[in-house]
Amino acid sequence: MEVSAKLRNVRLSAQKARIVADMVRGKDVNEAMKILSFMPQKPALHLKKLIQSAVANAEQKKVIDIDNLFVKTLSVDMGPSLGRFRPRAQGRATPVKKKSCHFNLVLDER
């Protein structure tokens, strides 16, 4: 029995978030939470909250043993980019892409 949770439109670069996601993919939930607690990167906070949400979803279903959960799949996809312009010298402007990403998490029992 699988439990899933999604976090969408997070104002992070997907490339930077994937580095943190690779650290917890395949790990037990308790171990993943410990790893994320001590990571200084911004995506670690969002992933920690997402795992807590998925565990709460599992508690709500009351079908899965929460102690045996592990991170089955964790994907980070690109979200929409916000287009902005930064003023530059001599009246020019250069585009700035403010990127976002989507997290998809699936927990399963061992």
User: What CATH number is given to the structural domain containing 100?
Assistant: 3.90.470.10
Say whether pLDDT at 65 is over 90: no
Q: Model-level pTM?
A: 0.88
Question: For the chain, what is the domain count?
Answer: 1
User: Residue 86 pairs with which residues in a beta bridge?
Assistant: 94
* Dist CA 105 CA 98 (whole Å): 24
Range of the domain at 34: 3-109
* Range with lowest mean pLDDT among 46-50, 61-65, 72-76, 93-97: 61-65
pLDDT in tens, 6-27: 999 999 999 999 999 999 999 9
**21 in Cβ contact with 44 (< 8 Å):** no
Going by pLDDT thresholds of 50, 70 and 90, the confidence category of residue 67 is confident
* In the chain, % of residues over pLDDT 70: 100
Side chain identity at residue 87, one-letter code: P
